[in-house]
Amino acid sequence: MKFSGLGKFALGQAVPDRDHAVCVSLPTFRDLIGYEEKDNRVQSSVRTGYPRFVQHHRIGETIRFLDLKEGTTGRRRFLFSNAQSCRQAVEIHSVAQARIEESEGFTSLLLPAESADVDSITSFLQHSGSGISSRKAEDFLLEAGEINEREEISQDKNPEDKIATVIAKAHGPEISKEDVLLGSSGANAFYSLFQTACENSRAKGKDLWIRLGWLYLDTIEVMDLLTNEKEQVIPLNRLEDFERIEELFKEHGEKIAGIVTEFPTNPLLQACNLEKIRDLCSKTDSLLIVDPTMVSPKNAKVSRLADVVVNSLTKYAGNEGDVMMGSLVFPQKSQLGRQLFEKTAGRICPPFERDLLRMAEQIERYENFIETTNRSLIKIVDFLERHEKIENVHWAYQSANKGTYEKVAGENRPGCVASFELKGSFESFYDRLEMLKSPSFGTQFTLCCPYVYLAHYKMIKSENGRKSLAEAGLSHNLLRISVGTEDTDQITEVLKDALSAS
């Protein structure tokens, strides 16, 4: 089914109109701030949304059902997809007065309602992506007799094999489906991998990680969470900082455990010299983890250079916007990466069966969708770069890193995402824009994401936070557009109208 992201959308409206939609409308600037400030008006309107940030109504119903059934009072219940992840959360945060209960297919963690650990566990679930699937909660409620029906999904004899085959092909001929691990989300895939990588590097006496680029929020948080007090994470946030990489390798050499980067980065779409970094890592037995989600691994063929490739399949693969999933690819040629395969496979939260079935319904359109948005984004960027009210446009082929990106991806393969900064009023533009305004990207419907407000709102509110964002080159007025399959002239007209009001 085809959906459009152009037009007016009500507060809390899910797109698509399906119960497990990832994207939810925040149509006005006031709604956006209310969402971040947890305003009751906004929260009561949002029943679905990006699952690691918004508790799906089926998960809330499951919690209330379990509390009522067990007579639980005075405690906060958190639902984990498995006991291993739950125990990790308790251990990492040294949680006091934790009670762990096993249910059918998931694990509950109960804390005193006023516990100081509530916020830590909430953050852990977000960053690790280890909570239960909304479809799992739906199944639980159906079996308990609390609901009478669930969404209809086509059956497939082996959806996991189908998904892994398509993803392996996207990465290139050197990758087979046996090299692919699937996880419940991209965040959980990275969390599981990085935990294993840290243990492996400690055994080798390596204690320094390099974070190359201002990366997605959860990647930053997971690296800070899983490294210990003896280890160091060095962030190189700006494109000009990337030049320090050779200096760091000369200074620290064999102590460097590895590099984590996105190619290109989110949201500024900066691309490092991946071939140079591959060479530096090879000389020091340092792990190179690369995430090409912003443009898709079909566009950025990084598996020939990386030891492990992380990818959120929620984007591009789940192009109808209602299923969470992630993948890890371990190229056979990388002995360093392959060392991590089995242990990571034992840690990763596997996707729920009905999420696999839903992804299998969509992934057949993966390649055609990417080819379509490659062509469309080039036209949209041309419009944005020419418009007098646009300050800056960031995309894979921006002049600052066109050569390094093109060396890996080739020509005319930018994916579906560009970020831009306005010269005029952010609030006026945002309120006038007749387009879905929501988190996520890589959907068949166009959407606009107020990125810094959604990913780094706490930083916007503090002086030090604003300073850190400025140092990384991130304006809080940055907007990220994800181009869908609508006619590009229609997308352009919607943008033109909103810019006239800014």
Which of the listed residues 318, 346, 364 is the one where a domain comes to its end? 364
Q: What angle do CA 485, 292, 473 make, to 5 degrees?
A: 95
* Token pair 């392959």 in the structure block, residue: 338
- State how far the Cα of 336 lies from the Cα of 162, in Å rounded to an integer: 27
At 14 the pLDDT is 93
Q: Is 129 left (phi over 0), alpha (psi -120 to 50) or beta?
A: left
- Same domain as 376, residue 468: yes
CA dist 58 and 317 (Å) reads 24
Q: What is the pLDDT of residue 1?
A: 59
Distance separating alpha carbons of residues 469 and 467, to the nearest angstrom: 5
Preceding amide of 267 cis, omega within 30: yes
Same domain, 342 and 434: no
Q: Is residue 64 part of a domain?
A: yes
Instruction: Map residue 200 onto helix, strand or coil.
Output: helix
Contacts with 467 (C-beta within 8 Å, 6 or more apart), sequence order: none
Domain hosting 419: range is 14-46+366-501
Distance CA 218, CA 127 (A): 5
Residues 436 and 355 in one domain: no
Strand boundaries in 99-246, DSSP class E: 99-103, 106-112, 180-183, 208-212, 232-236
Q: Is 76 helix (H, G, I), strand (E, B) or coil?
A: strand
* Pair 48, 19: CB distance under 8 Å: yes
Task: Provide the domain count of the chain.
Answer: 3
pLDDT in tens, 266-279: 999 999 999 999 99
Same domain, 114 and 166: no
Determine contact, residues 339/200, Cβ cutoff 8 Å.
Answer: yes
Looking at the structure, do residues 254 and 355 belong to the same domain, yes or no?
Answer: yes
Helix axes 118-128, 83-92, angle to 10 degrees: 130
Determine, yes or no, domain membership for 305.
Answer: yes
Specify the DSSP class assigned to residue 255: G
Q: CA-to-CA distance for 449 and 447, rounded, in angstroms?
A: 7
**Secondary structure (3-state) at 100:** strand
Cα–Cα distance measured from residue 167 to residue 152, given in angstroms and rounded to the nearest whole number: 25
Which residues have C-beta within 8 Å of that of residue 343, sequence separation ≥ 6?
196, 199
Residues 332 and 421 in one domain: no
Query: Residue 140 domain-assigned?
Result: no
Is residue 83 within 8 Å of 77, Cβ to Cβ?
A: no
- What is the predicted pLDDT for the residue at 240? 86
**Do 343 and 375 have their domain in common?**
no
Cα separation values, 494 from 73, 149, 217, 452, Å: 50, 38, 29, 22
Same structural domain for residues 303 and 377? no
In a domain, 254, yes or no: yes
The DSSP code for 435 is B
End-to-end CA distance of the chain, in Å?
Answer: 34
Task: Tell me the residue length of the chain.
Answer: 502
- Residue 266 and residue 205 share a domain: yes
Could you tell me the CATH number of the domain that includes residue 92?
3.30.70
pLDDT of residue 50: 74
Low-confidence stretches of the chain (pLDDT < 70) are 1, 51-52
Identity of residue 373:
T
- Is residue 502 within 8 Å of 425, Cβ to Cβ? yes
Query: Of 308, 333, 364, at which residue does a domain stop?
Result: 364
Record the pTM.
0.96
Distance, in Å, from the CA atom of 29 to the CA atom of 471, rounded to the nearest integer, reads 25
